[in-house]
Amino acid sequence: MALPHWTPQNLLPPGRHHADLADVYERLVYDAPHQNEREILFSALNSYLGVAQRVITSGRAWLGGAFVTRTAHPPRGLDVVLLPDEWGALKRLDDTGRTALYGLLTLRGIIVGQPAMYLDQIQPVGGMLDGFLCRPGDEDVWESVWAEGGRGIPEMVW
């Protein structure tokens, strides 16, 4: 199902909108200004979701940030919140799986040892996106924040 057309406010209409990568490309890259910048972010999203789907075998991803708006300014990044269907499967991940999962998440206020340094933020895909993990029961909180101002939320299911 294609993503709906832009509202006069240059947003997707309110609500969650099921989409696949082709739908996301059509509306958020092809039908939006700054296609070159959006192409790069779309490639980052495609790679990111490929890894996410190997680690989280069944779930959803919500897209947010400037990438899902049609503004005069080029988007600098995009936000993705991952909503696993089975939280217990994440708890059973082996070391390799946990490492891959942590690589999908934006980390803030990190202290790294040897040599000791403080980093404000670590972001996946070279800093092109912010990745978050929604815990069970927190869906309404995420949706209220991401739908603020009447924004629609593209939702990808696998």
Domain with 114 in it: what CATH number? 3.30.460
Residue 152, pLDDT score: 97
Report if residue 83 sits inside a domain: yes
Report if residue 63 sits inside a domain: yes
Residue 125, pLDDT score: 81
Cβ partners under 8 Å of residue 117, min gap 6:
111
Q: Which amino acid is at 92?
A: R
Residue 145, pLDDT score: 92
Report if residue 10 sits inside a domain: no
Residue 3, pLDDT score: 96
Q: Which amino acid is at 2?
A: A
Domain limits for position 102: 16-157
Residue 113, pLDDT score: 72
Report if residue 144 sits inside a domain: yes
Contact between 109 and 28 under an 8 Å Cβ cutoff? The reply is no
Split into its structural domains, the chain has a count of 1
Residue 109, pLDDT score: 66
Report if residue 72 sits inside a domain: yes
Separation of alpha carbons 85 and 76, rounded Å: 29
Residue 126, pLDDT score: 74
Tokens of 20: 């696949």
Separation of alpha carbons 63 and 75, rounded Å: 13
- Averages of pLDDT over runs of 10 residues in the chain (158 residues) are 92 97 98 97 97 96 96 93 96 94 82 70 81 95 93 97
Report if residue 7 sits inside a domain: no
Report if residue 57 sits inside a domain: yes
Residue 124, pLDDT score: 81
Report if residue 4 sits inside a domain: no
3-state secondary structure of 91: helix
